[in-house]
Structure 1
């Protein structure tokens, strides 16, 4: 049992309750009690590990709804892919990302990249991630390599393999089978790691493949993850092939539903698609930083106003949900020239409870409440002004960053203590990742230091 005392607690419950000086009692993997310190006085809890959170803020662990965890192995490449190319995102994907990255990844790359990214993200307060694993030529076993790494990191994860039809029909079959086998394997030993059915996107998958993924998700009751319109080409492609944009196409082939988590939705039809997505209770993960890096300017406001659940994701481009929250808020305020758009509390909710809803895990994670999983982050309160109920959300979104994260619990286990990961040897892991990166660069003929 763990007892966290003297914390400013941001619960993210239905009433957005903030407890100025409170305690959280952790029993096993769940929160068994919480409230103001006055309720705890004169109560002894024999054998409990006490964490004094004086001058700290307790928040629910962040929920990242879109990731490519293996991507640690392909950071800071010695080649950009832009040289002598008439740039567009889809041409860059075809000429560079698919050919030189995804197609050359092996399962050792996936394992170490996933492990180091999970370690870095949980140290920054992300306790749950959804991931779509890439690497069609690494099949089979690719999703299992990622699952092993996520398990060792102490993180909670919902994983899928990015089934694609761009290689061959046989490869598409292998991708779908990888998802099915992983979902079934994780259910035999339930824990922090779960599976979903992953599909790459509309322009790399046939109608038959997308429908097959939908059928398997229905049979297994596990949900789906898919990229949606992160580039205009997605809708150009479906319009050319079927005479309708991507969202309408997916509706007509029976793919949409409340268990579908889409990533990006940067170039949907803002007049019709939000209503369609809301009708089927589809979920959206918004990647503000990665979209901006690639020159996209996504607009989540029509989706939010239509009632679509929108959460936040990393997409492998940064490890900090604090950066993501600020970027999401800024790009929408700049677009609309409205300084009150996406309030601090709304953006923080996107990073916590909305993330839980997107993964259909709102009864387990996303807030600090009795009975929920003990996924808890303690932030150092180094503010030069008092932080209390009236300004805590502004501190969390506009001031705090990853350096404030001190202690992280996942499933009731202390995974990070005083900024140090407790389950992995960080130095050894980084050295291994550097060696794997050099091996990967050799496969592409890139310079080695």
Structure 2
């Protein structure tokens, strides 16, 4: 609901413990998206994972396959395979999951190059950085969607360009990790879209704000130090958010532009609020001044999901009320565990 209310019509989820519930919620709300199972077949260094998150390698493969097949015929919500991260996945699982992706003709959602700890881990264990390690395994190709991809050196970046992988730049989070090479990735033809990193990152899912962050981040990295202005302006970043997002989702034949034969996923934004009232350039106002609060109506697959900021598919007040109760229970449970 947060995504819809701020103008996002399609999401890619890296993996949760209850993906079918996520799919049910997406179906009820009316959004388009791809769900995944949080997939770990070993604990990471330090043994920090809850035991409920760790499955056997065989169970990981079986449950991922079953999830993809269960959601294969849904018109809006489908599932991808998942590898949570190199540190919590065995090499056997990585290679076997890639073979399964080929068998099912689907994609693997994973996190890559998102921290120094991960790079240190692959260098210490395989004498290679993460992209080069996956390339050596023979699985770094069009089957891979790579979250964050924040810490790339020149060789890493070249592998991204050569291998037809896709990626997501989560601007709320990634600039806390390192400078992001988004500009070089998009100019090099990499399918890299924008992501929020979920509402856990800043408490909202506003992709308009993410695009604004990304413009400023790239200006600071590639423009300001050289008195070169903005390498990617607001209008182009909005196009990347929409078009490259569709490509990364492998849905460019269905969404990403308004064309005959494509799905009617449409976001209508107000133009008469006081903060953008005096702009007569609609594209400039949409790309640089609009945020999620300016979204008025959202249409997915030709169906009106939210009209004049009122949800037509679910009872917003009921969901808020239930969520408050459940959240308090979770907080109390967490406090009890923390005090032990």
TM exceeding 0.5: yes
- 1:289/1:327 contact within 8 Å kept: yes
| 1:163 alignment partner in structure 2 | 39
Task: Give the structure with the higher percent strand.
Answer: 1
| 1:221 alignment partner in structure 2 | 105
- 1:259/1:360 contact within 8 Å kept: no
C-alpha separation in 2, matches of 1:172 and 1:440: 30
- 1:385 pairs with 2:246: no
Residue-pair matches, total: 318
Matches within 5 A, 1:46-195: 119-135=1-17, 142-167=18-43, 170-187=55-72, 189-195=73-79
SS at match of 2:180: coil
- 2:40/2:60 contact within 8 Å kept: yes
Residues 193, 313 of structure 1: CA spacing in aligned structure 2 closer, same or farther, 3 A cutoff? Answer: same
SS at match of 2:231: coil
| 2:229 alignment partner in structure 1 | 339
SS at match of 2:71: helix
SS at match of 1:373: coil
Matches within 5 A, 1:199-278: 199-269=83-153, 271-278=154-161
- 2:267/2:297 contact within 8 Å kept: yes
C-alpha separation in 2, matches of 1:153 and 1:266: 32
C-alpha separation in 2, matches of 1:153 and 1:175: 28
Deviation of residue 144 (structure 1)?
A: 1.0
- 2:113/2:149 contact within 8 Å kept: yes
C-alpha separation in 2, matches of 1:425 and 1:305: 43
Deviation of residue 253 (structure 1)?
A: 0.5
Residues 384, 445 of structure 1: CA spacing in aligned structure 2 closer, same or farther, 3 A cutoff? Answer: closer
Deviation of residue 249 (structure 1)?
A: 0.3
Deviations 1:382-412 (A, max 9, x none): 233353xxx4332122111112211111011
**Structure 2 residues not aligned, in runs of 5+:** 44-50
- 1:369 pairs with 2:246: no
Match of 2:284 among 394, 415, 419: 394
| 1:443 alignment partner in structure 2 | 333
- 1:291 pairs with 2:177: no
Residues 177, 441 of structure 1: CA spacing in aligned structure 2 closer, same or farther, 3 A cutoff? Answer: farther
- 1:163/1:172 contact within 8 Å kept: no
- 1:196/1:225 contact within 8 Å kept: yes
Deviation of residue 283 (structure 1)?
A: 0.8
Deviation of residue 204 (structure 1)?
A: 1.6
| 1:315 alignment partner in structure 2 | 197
- 1:197/1:224 contact within 8 Å kept: yes
Deviation of residue 446 (structure 1)?
A: 5.9
SS at match of 1:445: helix
| 2:46 alignment partner in structure 1 | none
C-alpha separation in 2, matches of 1:178 and 1:436: 27
- TM (normalized to structure 2)? 0.88
- 1:133/1:146 contact within 8 Å kept: no
- 1:282 pairs with 2:172: no
C-alpha separation in 2, matches of 1:162 and 1:268: 24
C-alpha separation in 1, matches of 2:309 and 2:39: 36
Deviation of residue 133 (structure 1)?
A: 2.5
C-alpha separation in 2, matches of 1:354 and 1:441: 38
Which portions of structure 1, spanning 4 or more consecutive aligned residues, are displaced by more than 6 angstroms? none
Deviations 1:171-201 (A, max 9, x none): 44433333211111112x3311111101111
- TM (normalized to structure 1)? 0.68
C-alpha separation in 1, matches of 2:288 and 2:143: 32
**Structure 1 residues not aligned, in runs of 5+:** 1-118, 136-141
- 1:256/1:280 contact within 8 Å kept: yes
Match of 1:302 among 177, 184, 194: 184
C-alpha separation in 2, matches of 1:151 and 1:361: 18
- 1:344/1:393 contact within 8 Å kept: no
Point out the structure with max Rg over C-alpha.
1
Matches within 5 A, 1:338-357: 338-357=228-247
